[in-house]
């Protein structure tokens, strides 16, 4: 028998896999399942982006691109980061990868050594701790709750830092909580990071999905010192409804990005060439459709949130970004897994238990789905909650 490497021993299988398999099986047997598990926009990628990739294919852009990305795309990303995020990077400080996820993997492989600690605010995006473990480093979770609007405090950060701490992984707007750090909050965290020389990997993939008129602030823009300790990660999946294109990027100090590109050059060799032409069109073209999608998400959030507010046994913080609601179900006395399982079996509503994100008192509803599904799901949820 082939033995598995030790790096596989600690990889957690997805908590949600069993549930989503069950949801699929129910649907296959003809049952109408309301699916709120999805972590991707339900819209199609805007037409001008699709056209640009098709044109690239027809023009023979089917060869290897430079490992770090097409120079033209790197230039456009640099311009975007300058104009929208007040971050000043040159093209050798930008890596284009197959998805934001792989940009994060490349960067963490480049900066974490065996036994290093990476701080992860919890609830967290499921892949962060696993990627840290793949890099042979140790994920250190920093719990947050509704009491701090699911945000870490500077004191908490200070207390978690040890001589082995190399990085903080920050995700604002957050998946799964929708929390957004303000400029003042980020400034306070940046001060602690700079003082301890701890890097921050700032995952800003949901920056375009903001509600209530809140502003997105890139922590790297808050001064030269923190800029030098920041790697900014982003991608095309969420803003441009382009999850299947596998396109993301990271920007940071030149030596870090060079190491990440070197790793990438020996693994994937970089993102798919003709897909990168689509990304060029995404950044060069009109951003109107991004705003149309954002507005639709906001409309759904408002309806879904208002519906949840009326339900007994459940409390919900109003998310300011991304496309998830993360209500607290502790009052039901059920674990997040039991709650999710019963809701699926008895009322055919599929959600993700908070345990998957390190928060067993919560469950995640994605509103990247139609308004009709939201309305139907709310009705079912109401009947479920009343009978609990
Ligand atoms: C979706 C997502 C990503 C990246 O997704 P890609 O499709 O790999 O670009 C990164 N971080 C978070 C928190 C996400 O939800």
Residue boundaries of the structural domains of the chain: 6-45+288-387, 48-284
Spacing, Cα 246 to ligand 1 middle (Å): 10
Query: What angle is formed at CA 299 by the lines to CA 323 and CA 315, rounded to 5 degrees?
Result: 60
Instruction: Kindly give the number of the ligand 1 atom that is closest to the alpha carbon of 248.
Output: 9
Strand-pair category, 248-251 with 230-235: antiparallel
- Measured CA to CA, the distance from residue 374 to residue 369 in angstroms comes to 7
Tokens for 297, please give them. Answer: 């998400």
- Cβ atoms of 344 and 4 within 8 Å: the answer is no
Q: Which CATH class is domain 48-284?
A: alpha beta
Average pLDDT over residues 58-62: 98
Distances (CA, A) of 10 to 53, 127, 138, 162: 39, 13, 11, 23
Tokens for 171, please give them. Answer: 């995700």
Tens of pLDDT, residues 351-369: 999 999 999 999 999 999 9
At residue 12 the predicted structure's pLDDT band, cuts being 50, 70 and 90, is confident
Domain 6-45+288-387: give its CATH code: 3.90.1150.10
pLDDT for the residue numbered 7 = 87
Instruction: Kindly give the number of the ligand 1 atom that is closest to the alpha carbon of 171.
Output: 13
Nearest to 198, CA basis, from 230, 228, 166, 175: 166
- Measured CA to CA, the distance from residue 366 to residue 356 in angstroms comes to 14
pLDDT for the residue numbered 123 = 98
Instruction: Kindly give the number of the ligand 1 atom that is closest to the alpha carbon of 104.
Output: 10
- Measured CA to CA, the distance from residue 166 to residue 27 in angstroms comes to 45
Tokens for 269, please give them. Answer: 């060799």
289 in ligand 1 pocket by Cβ < 6 Å? no
Which one has a higher pLDDT value, 9 or 303?
303
281 in ligand 1 pocket by Cβ < 6 Å? no
Report the predicted TM-score, pTM, of the whole model to 2 decimal places.
0.97
202 in ligand 1 pocket by Cβ < 6 Å? no
Tens of pLDDT, residues 245-285: 999 999 999 999 999 999 999 999 999 999 999 999 999 99
């Amino acid at each position: 028998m082939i033995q598995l490497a030790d790096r596989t021993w600690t990889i957690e299988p997805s908590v949600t896999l069993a549930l989503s398999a069950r949801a699929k099986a129910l649907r296959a047997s003809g049952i109408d399942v309301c699916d709120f598990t999805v972590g991707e926009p339900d819209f199609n990628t805007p037409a001008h982006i699709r056209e640009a990739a098709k044109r690239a294919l027809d023009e023979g852009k089917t060869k290897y691109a430079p490992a770090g990305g097409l120079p033209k795309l790197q230039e456009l990303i640099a311009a975007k980061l300058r104009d929208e995020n007040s971050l000043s990077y040159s093209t050798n400080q930008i890596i284009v990868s197959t998805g934001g996820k792989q940009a994060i993997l490349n960067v963490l492989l480049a900066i974490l050594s065996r036994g290093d600690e990476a701080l992860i605010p919890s609830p967290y995006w499921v892949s962060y701790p696993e990627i840290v473990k793949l890099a042979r480093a140790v994920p250190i979770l920093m719990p947050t709750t509704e009491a701090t609007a699911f945000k870490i405090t500077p004191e908490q950060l200070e207390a978690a830092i040890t001589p082995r701490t190399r990085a903080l992984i920050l995700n604002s707007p957050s998946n799964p909580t929708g929390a957004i750090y303000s400029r003042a909050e980020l400034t306070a965290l940046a001060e602690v990071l700079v003082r301890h020389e701890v890097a921050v990997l700032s995952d800003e993939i949901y920056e375009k999905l903001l509600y209530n008129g809140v502003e997105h602030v890139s922590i790297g823009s808050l001064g030269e010192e923190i800029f030098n300790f920041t790697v900014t990660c982003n991608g095309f999946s969420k803003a441009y409804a382009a999850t299947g294109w596998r396109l993301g990027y990271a920007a940071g100090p030149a030596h870090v990005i060079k190491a990440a590109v070197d790793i990438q050059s020996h693994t994937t060799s970089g993102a798919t060439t003709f897909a990168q032409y689509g990304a060029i069109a995404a950044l060069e073209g009109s951003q109107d459709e991004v705003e149309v999608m954002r507005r639709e998400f906001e409309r759904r959030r408002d309806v879904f949130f208002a519906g949840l507010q009326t339900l007994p046994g459940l409390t919900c913080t109003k998310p300011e970004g991304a496309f998830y609601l993360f209500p607290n179900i502790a009052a039901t006395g059920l674990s997040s897994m039991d709650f999710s399982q019963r809701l699926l079996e008895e009322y055919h509503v599929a959600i993700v238990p908070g345990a998957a994100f390190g928060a067993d008192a919560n469950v995640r509803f994605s509103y990247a789905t139609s308004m009709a599904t939201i309305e139907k799901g709310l009705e079912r949820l109401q009947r479920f909650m009343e009978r609990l």
